[in-house]
Structures are given as C-alpha cells and as structure tokens.
Structure 1
Amino acid sequence: GDMSWLFGKGNDKTPSTLPIEKDISNQLDDLLQDSPASRDKITVLENQLAATANSLKRLVKISKQYQHLGNMFKDIALDFGNELLDFNFEGLPVAGSGVQLPAMAKCIGQTILDINDYQSMLMVQMGNVFIQPLEQFINGELKQTKPLTKKYNRLRKQYDQSISKFSHIKKTDLEKIPEAEHELLYYRNEYQHSSLEYVASLGRLEAESKLQVMERACAFLYSEKAYFSQGISIHGSIDKQLSQLSTEITATHKIVELRGKAVQRKKEQLKQMDQRSPPSPMSNRLENSMETAGYLFQKIGKNWRRCYVEIKNGNLYSQKSAKDEPQELTNLLLATVRLADSKDENRRFCFEVISPNERFVLQAENEEILQYWIHIIQNAIAHALNHNQPNAKKSGLYPAEDAMSSSNSFLQKLREHEENRFCADCGDLNPTWASINLGLLICISCSGIHRQLGTHISKVRSTTLDSWDLELQKLLLATGNQLGKLVFEANVPPDVVRPNADSSRDEKQTWIVDKYIEKKWAAKAHLGTHSSLERALHASIQDGYMQETLTFIFHGAELNWKDQEHLFFSSLHYAITEGQTSLCDLLLQNGANPDIADGSGWTPLHHCAYLNKIDCVILLIRRGAKLSIVDNQNKTPLDIAVVNEQAHCVTLLRLALHAETQSGNALEDEAFAIALHEFSEEVEEMMQVPTKADSLWIGDMDSDDEDSAKLETL
C-alpha cells in the first residue's frame, strides 16, 4: 500500500528539497484533522497489516514444510549414501594394473554423505535464521496491535459520542454546555493521541514485517550459498577420481563383453565336441599336483551320496551340499589309499582312503578319474611325509659332521670313564679304535689283530675316521672297557702276564686269541634256574642286565632261538618289548636277525610300531630291517602303526618307505638320512644316557613319565 503520506515520500508535487520532518509533520496534521480520507487510510493500514500478517504466517508454514521435506531428503540421502557404501562392488574384472575399482566406486557414496552433512546444516539454518525469528515476531510484536486497535476504536467511538452529545444540547440547556464541552475536549485529545500512536504502530509493524522477511530470507540465502559452495568444492575434489572411475567402468564393460564372447565361443566348442569322450581331468592339472577338488560318490553307511571332495593342505574334505560346511575326513599324513576290494564293493571305479580311525570309500566317474584321484592322494601323502620330517641342521652339514657325531665330542664322552682311556688289551693310552660288538676301546695296533679274527668275532671301527650313528654311540657308552673286563677277563690268573703298549705283536696276538677265541678267562655263564643259555639270555634281557647279556652272547647263546613257550619270541623281541635300545643294538651287532618273526608273524619292527618305540624303530631301520615285511595277517609294520594311531612311528616309517621308493635303499637317500639323524637326536635328548654306574644295568628308559611326555612332543 501507499504509505508515502506517513513516511514522508509525498507525491510528485512535493518538492524534493523539502525536509522529511516537515513532510511528516504535514501528514500528521492531516491525520489530526480526522477527515474521512485519514480514517480511510487508517482502515487501509489495518487491512494491509492484517494481510501482511496472514502472508507472514503462510510463509512460516511453507518454510516449515520446506524444512520438513529437506530433513526427509536428508534422511533419504543418508540411506542412499550408506547403501552405496555397503554395496558389494567386489568381483568386478579389472582392466588396469593395481586399480582398486571397488574402493574407487565407494567414493561416490562417501561424497553423497559428505554433501548430506551440509544439507543437514542448511535445514538447521532454515530454522535458526528464518522460521524461529519470524515466529517470534508474529507471536510477539504483531500481537501487540490488538490492544492498540481496541483502544483506538474505543476512543474514536467515545469521541464521536461526545461530538454528538455536544451538538444535541438545546438552547434552553445552556448549563450543560460547559460540561459537554469539557468532555468533548477530553475525548478529542485522547483520540488524537491514540490515533497518532495507532497509526505509527501500524506503519512500523507493516514495515518491520517486510523487513524481517527480507532480512531472514537474505540470511537463509547466505546459508544456502555456503551449502552449494561446499557441494561444489566437494565435487571438485573428486573430479579426478570420477574421471578415472569413468575410464575404468568403460574398460570393465569391455571386459564383461569379452567374457560373454568367450562363453559363447566355449558353448560353440562344446557343441562340436564328441559327448561320448569327456575331457580328462589330468589335461588341465599338473601331474605332481597335491591338491584337487571335484564331485565323487561317497559311501555313507549302506548308501551312496554325491559329495564335493577336496584335497587341501594335506587333508581330505567332503561337503554334502552348498549349505553344509566342508567336513574334514582325515589327515593324509596318517592315511593310505588303494583300490577298493571288488568283493566288498559292487560298484565300479571305487577306491578307499584308510585312516587310523576310519575307512572312506569313494567312487569316481570312470577309470581315468579314479587313477587321477589316487595319484593326487599319493602325492599329498608323500608331500606331507617330506614336510613332517625334522629340519636339517642349519649348518647344512651331513649328520656325521655335527657336534654329537664329531670325533672329539664322542671320544670326550668315552674317556669320561677311566677304563676307556686305555686299550682294553694292551693298556696303550688314548685308544681311538673300537670293537663295536664286544663293546671295547682298543688301540690301533690291537685293532689290526682284531680284524684278523674276523667280523664274527670282532667288528672293528675307528672312533675318529668312521661315522658313528647315535645308537652305536650309546651302545659303546653303555658297554666300554670296564664292562669288558668283567666279562672277558673275570678269571685271569695272577701269574698270567698281560701285554702292554711296548709288547710285540705276537705277544698281543696270543693274548687276544686266548681272550676272545679260546675264552680262557671269560666270566662263567650262570644259568640259574634256566635250562639253556638261550632262556637265561632272554631272562637277562628282560631284567635289563647288560653284563649278563654280553656274557651269554660271548658263550655262544643262539640269538635267533625262539621261545615256544612264549609266543615264539626271540631275544630281539624281548629287547624290543622291554624298550632296551642298547641291548637291541648289542644283539644286532652280534648277529641277531632284524627280520625274525614270532608266532604271529610279527617282526621286531611290528612290535615297535605297535608299542610306538620310536628309538627302536630308528635302530632297526639303521640295521637294515625290512620295511614292507608282512605278518600272518598280511600287515606291514606301517599298517600296525596306522591302526594303533602311533603317529610318530607312522611318520618315520612312511618317510623310510618313501625314501626306499625313491632311492631303492632308504639309508642311501641323503634327505632321509638327515631326517633319521634328527629323529635320533630328539630321542637322545629325551632319553637318559647311561652313566658309569648304569653301564652294568640298563633300565626301561620308557618308564619315566617325563621322558614319555617328551616322546609325545616328538
């Protein structure tokens, strides 16, 4: 509306040079005259203010809707951005090298979330700088016009009434004139003051309403400008990423297209292939592969079920369906594989995997796939065996060259015993030769005479020039010259002159022949309650007496004699079952048969496998025991170890069989020799090495709980 009459803008006829104060004063004078025009202008002002107030309320209502919809948009944008972040972009074919396409794609969602944060701030600003100030203005100052309007209308009515009352006084009522005149002047004055105040309030509130809207709208526009500026800044920061992402998306589309073409070509090839000749599984796999997977039929109870079978990391797994977890059937280290017996299975192309606890029967589609699976399982078993053996010495030396086997260390251990510092025959100082089956240390001069006796009497070996395995070292440490004197020189008459280091060769030879061939001074073989040397020998072995055992051997006890009253056990069977490793080696060095079988066909190696005597297994392998020999039930020592879950023996026997397959002789395989030596060292650390006092009696080394625990660790 035109409020120039109130605010001094005037009409076109008003000179622009008139002071604003004079113009306003003239307009107020017009208002005080209370002309119909002035009253109409007040009514116009009232209507304009009412319309402005209504517009203001509608604007606040719409701004609240704007804020509400903005918050809804913000929430939806938040969900949209989070969904993009959570979306799985993995699995896309990547064209470029080192390009992380999924990570790049996720920057889109993060950008939307970043912009959404500023959208949230914009909606907060809408409330702070626009809605709240306008609501405060409407509920505050605009409401103050109502009492002013009531006051103005009341005074105008009273003023009009006073004028009417004053005008209606008759000439005869002159006494009423002063009172009416006074009342008229009073209400005129009140009305004029009220009019000025009312019109000023209407004009001010009208102007303030519009200025408030302008000011609040400007403030919001500044907030919106900041919002869009920040959005432009965020978009600008990812321009390079968006460009790179677009390039990668285009390249990926091409790869997907190429894949589709490749699939189509493969389908065409399949149409051209002869369906009667399925492709061989060996065609796409390496012959020495140790892992594979595919569908086989598995016998579960009496039923057959198609399962997904996998060989991975030395284990055999079976998965019945996609929703089931793969089930580990067995560790192939402790398993064997073979063709299924046609008598047991009436299906074709069956093979079985035998573990210590269970037997798994599987069926392939054809003969070629059957052989392929058996081949892979055998490779996996061989790999598990090779990687389960102990590590070789870090120095890279062959076993004979390590510290335990070095001549200095071995001799030092031997010479800890006083008698071993002198030759057992002539007394020469620091002997470096030995008779391993007699358990003696001798000098180089006497060693030549011992050789002439023959290996059936004395087996001579140098302690410095020859290689000594740990078992042989333990044997010599368990016997030695002190024990030799008790056995071979127990009854030397006082008048017999012993040779010395300076004696002639003939003198030494006479002494050695009388001592070891004629047995002139040997200890008596006391049979006690036993009926024969052999039974006495068996008893001494069971009791662990090294001296008596050597005495009976020296007097000619038959080492391979079998006791019919006790499962046809030989002396070696007793030594094995009692865990007497050094006695075992003594028997073997003196001619005991390492492959002798008892009544059930069990050899000493079968008993070792059953009892998990890892130290005796090592000894028998070193002494040439047959690994594949079978008992009366056609079981090898390995079969016995597998059935009885003797993991240590299973590992060692499989290593030996694998080496034998590779080299023809397990002991000639260098890798196996190192592994065997490492096993020996571990056992040596666990078992107590006999002291000087122990050399006369070797107890059951496996009886100690701590040693057993160490063996379990091995």
Structure 2
Amino acid sequence: MIDTGKAFCTANKQFMNGIRDLAQYSCKDTLVETNLTKFSDTLQEMINYHNILFDQIQRSIKTQLQTFVKEDIRKFKDAKKQFEKVSEEKENALVKNAQVQRNKQHEVEEATNILTATRKCFRHIALDYVLQINVLQSKRRAEILKSMLSFMYAHLAFFHQGYDLFSELEPYMKELGAQLDQLAVDAAKEKRDMEQKHSTIQQKDYSSDDTKLEYNVDAANGIVMEGYLFKRASNAFKTWNRRWFSIQNNQLVYQKKFKDNPTVVVEDLRLCTVKHCEDIERRFCFEVVSPTKSCMLQADSEKLRQAWIKAVQTSIATAYREKGDESEKQEKKSSPSTGSLESGSETKEKLLKGESALQRVQCIPGNAACCDCGLADPRWASINLGITLCIECSGIHRSLGVHFSKVRSLTLDSWEPELLKLMCELGNDVINRIYEAKLEKMGVKKPQSGSQRQEKEAYIRAKYVERKFVEKQAASVPLPEPGTKVLPPSQEEKRHSVPEKSLLAGEQGAASPKVRSSDSGIQPSTDDSREHLASTISANSLYEPEGDKQESPVFCDSKQPSPGLQLYQAAFEKNLPHMAEALAHGAEVNWVNVEENKATPLIQAVRGGSLVTCEFLLQNGANVNIRDMKGRGPLHHATVLGHTGQVCLFLKRGANQHATDEDGKDPLSIAVEAANADIVTLLRLARMNEEMRESEGLYGQPGDEIYQDIFRDFSQMASNNPEKLNRFQQSDSQKS
C-alpha cells in the first residue's frame, strides 16, 4: 500500500507539473493562467499532505509491527523450543524409570533422581513458556491496536488538512463557476453571431474572388500587411512558389509554413523600391528591388497588387519618418540575418542538451536557486544575463523583451557549447552583486518564491529594466594625452559627434555584401561617441603575437571610467563580470573608441582571444558587422589573428564575409595569404553554402547537413578543445 501510494504521489506530481506548464503556455489568457496556477498550488499542497500521510503510516504500522515480529515473537519461539526440548527429556526420563528392574537397586535410584530433576526443570520451563505466551498475547493486542490508532489519526489529520485547504479554495471555485457560466453564455451568443455572419457571407457573390487586404502602419502587433503571394525563385528554373508574406518592423518577410521562422527578403525597406511588372507573362506581378537583389512577386488580383504596392510604399515613407528606438535597432542588428547558419530546426545531436546542461549550470555559485525569488532547482535561464530562473520568473523575464532578457530552458532546449560556457562564467551571485547592490540601502524587500506574481513582476522590472538597485557609477572624465591640445566644449563635442548621414551610410554598407570600406563602419550615437579614451592596446601592436602584446597606458583621472570604456577594456581582459557591470551602468554594447580606430568592444574581445566574451557581447546586442576606421570588422580581426573559433562563431551569427577593408581585402583573401587552412575552409564553406541557398531560393534555411556538421565540430573544438585549433599559430612559431 505504501509503495503504491508513493507511486500515486509521483504520478500526481507529474500531472501537477503539466498543469503548471499549461498555465505558463496560457500566459496571454489571464483567467486561464491565474486559475491553473492557483489549482496547481493546491494540488501541490495535497501531494505534500499525501507524503506526510505515507511517512506516518510507515512509522506507525510497518516499523512497529516489524519490530514486534522480529523481536517479541522471536523470544517466544526461543522459549517454545526450550519447552519442547525439556518435554522430550521428561518423556525419556519417565520411560527409562519405568524400564528399570526391581532387583537392580543402583539403577533404580539413578533413574529416580534423573526423573526428579527432569520434572523440576520441566516445571520451571513450563512456567516461563506460559509467561511468554501471556506476555505475547497482551503485547499483540496493544501493538496492533496502538498501530491502528496511530494509522487512523494520520488519516484524520490528512482529511482535516485537505478539508481546510479546499474550504479556503471553495469561494474562489464558486466565483470561477459563475464566470464560466457567463463565458458559456457569451460563447453561445458569439456562436449565433458567427453563424449569422456565415449565412450572410454565403449569400454574397464571390465569382471575382477579389478580397482587398487593408494595411495599417500603426498596427499593434507591428504587422502592416500580410497575405499570400507567389514568389519567383532565383534559381535557373525560375519556379513560382506560394508563400505567406508580411510587412513588419520595416522589413519584408515570408514563411513557407505557419510555424517556420520568417525569412527576410528586404532587411530595411528604406533601401528598396517597388514597381509594377508588365513585361512578363504572368499577371498581377510587381517587383521589390533592394541594393543587393530583387524579388519578383505575384498577387491574386489587380486590386491585391495595388494594395501590396501601396503598403510597401507607405512603409518606406513611415520608416524614413520614424526615428526608432535605438535599443530595438541594436537588437535587430544583432539578430541572425538570412545568411545565418542557425535555424529553429536544430538537430537533436547538435548541442549539449538536457540534464548535462542543467547540472553544469546549477553548479555555479548561487545558481541552485532562482536569481529573483530564491525558488530551489530552477530549470530556466536568461542567456544574455547569465542567470538561472524558476518557471514563473522566466515568464516575467520573457515579457520584458529580448533586448532585456533572452530566456531558454535548461532541460528542453539545446545548448551551444560557447553559450553553455558563457552561463558558467557568470551566475546568480555575480549578477545579483551588480543588480542588487543598493537593495539593502533602499530597504527594498526581495520577493520570495511564494510571493504574488504582481510583486515579482514589479521587482524584476525595477531590477533589470529600470535598474533601480544598481550602484550609481561615479562620473568619468578622460584625461588628454601629453601634448594634446584641449578643445573648448563646443569643439570637443563637434569633434566626437557623428553626422546622421554617416550613420545612414554605415547601415547601407552593412546591408550590401560587396560594399567598399568607405561605405561601411556604423557609427555610435552622439552620446556614446563622446566616451573615448586610449585603449589598452595600441594601434601599432594590433596584430602582434598575443604573447608579445603590451597594454598601452590609459590616461584618466582617479574616477571610474565611463561605462562604454569599462566595457571596452573588460572585453579585452576577458572579464565577464566587469562587462556585465558596465552594461548595467548603461554602456552601449556597440560603443566606439574614436581614439583607437573606432574599435568596438566586440573587436576588443577578438583581440583578447576569448570566444565566450564575443558570445556575451553578441547575446547582448553587439553588431557583428560594425567595422573600424580601417574597414575591418570582427570577422576581419579574427581572421588576421588566426582565431578559428571566433571566425566560426561570427559566421554562425551572420557576419558579412564579403566586406573588404581599406586595402580591398576580404576575410577569405586574408586567410589565404596567411595559409590558415582551418579558417579558409570555414569561409569557403560558408560562401558556398550561401550561394547554394540563394540559387535555390532557400533563404533562412540552415543549409547542407555536411556543412552544419563541420561547423558543429569547429564549435565543439573551440569551446572544449581550443588547443586543437592552435595548429596555425604553432606552425608559424616553429617556422620562425
């Protein structure tokens, strides 16, 4: 019974976890989520009561009765054996005494003495045996009744606890029942309305089948217009395929199936034009032309074609008018482009998965409990913050937006090796020391695992979005280098400001795969461009061997460096906690050091040689295609330095390998000159895979399986066996 009860509790807990997952999946429906969460909490309490009941049964019946059987009955059996033995001896003495002849006086006396002694012993053993019988019978009654009484009291407590629990829940259940009755009435009314509309629609004439789609540039979900269009493939056969297109976030995207990840056709509508096409055989066609490619589309009717063309034109005009939020812009830049190697359908053997990721991440200090509420055994993580979360806090983090927190499951999702190493470099203790530095000073009480969701949500938003508990950083004033003329404030601001036209030119350069270096190099915002200081690496020693590099002096006063400079320096020093602290203080992840060839923290991370540092910056919105004053982006620098793992990472994150530096060299030509076979292989494979996808019209697809396997192997080696990728540097040193 106990074993079956425990199995029942295990199955019941699985069911309760399923209810909680269902509540999480229904986060957009407040009524369903709130009620399922409350019911799952009640079921959890009942499981706890069941476990207490079975523990009491274990002690009250099983343990006590086993003691009675093993000890008391064993003593009784020993006494019984002694009694049976002395009874047999007495019978033998009686037989022997009866058999002795009268004339043998000596034998008569001996037999008589033995019989007397045996009878005396028999009386003592018989009395002891009777005593053991009486004691056992008495104890048997007491033990059985005592055990059963304890058993019944355990049930009494169990049912009292359950009754009290559900008595508190009963008013809530009655209220929900009333709401459900009203929902049923509303659903019946809605059904009647839909049937009436259906009947009205059936009476209409649809012979022309012209359904005009309305467009709305201010749509709440960001989708200006959506619908089916035929798309002509760019392969040799020029086949036409029907796809679901939509205009959203100033982009034109399409999906092959509903659940597929959208494939971006035009990354920025401001750089494209749209026009009618009357010179092909098909009707209702129009063309969307961008600086790098053109896309031929066909609507189902002339009205639909006009609607799509007007929607695209309106979106282009709106994109020019809107300034846009800088953080959202950076997040869009950091997301993988159509050339990215990653897709939503990753093979299950691709990455570390399941309990291995959970165990490795939970071993980090503080990660055994939720970072925000302290609930034990968290199964979710924020990959850009490097913390572990419970399922409820993970839902709140997901509602903040990916520019604040990117949530992933430690047991359900696959984990790339570099991402897993990133999680192991940070942890809850490190992040809480940064984001909760002023918590005690402000007298704010941190929510617990049992706190209301509204309380947790308010705390998490204040902690990560508003950053109320982060210790304010002292103002930084970079000192000029010796001999440098100090400019007046107006001239200094002008010298470090970046014209808007330059920013637009940089974005256009990033969108085109074959732009010259003079058209690239996206500049930071004006505020961030003022944060500058001499880097820890001089420009002349940029590509010296890592062992010979010396840090150049930093000329600043005793105050704390600016957040942007702190991020810049920490990226080279491979110090992830300092990088996280700089971001918490408001550092721009794409901050540009104008004194060091306009290098970014991501370029500094490449120079430092840390794969995990690069991954951390990319997860926090770093643009993989921003280039320095010499036209070299992170992929250029990683290629020059021979950092194979970083090259693999940047290619996976959508780096543009066609970009050329001021010398007209792209990363492939640099790798060929350096005779770095590994990097040449990666770049050529990526280029071949990109051309293959474009020729077959497979935008957004992961590419060939062999190609994925090769990149997967390089990622594993770069994270777990980096020494295997140092063959290039070792061979160079041997030659020298």
TM bucket (normalised to shorter chain) is 0.3 to 0.5
**Larger RCO (alpha carbons 8 Å, 6+ apart):** 2
TM-score (normalised: structure 2): 0.41
Rg larger in 1 or in 2?
A: 1
TM-score (normalised: structure 1): 0.43
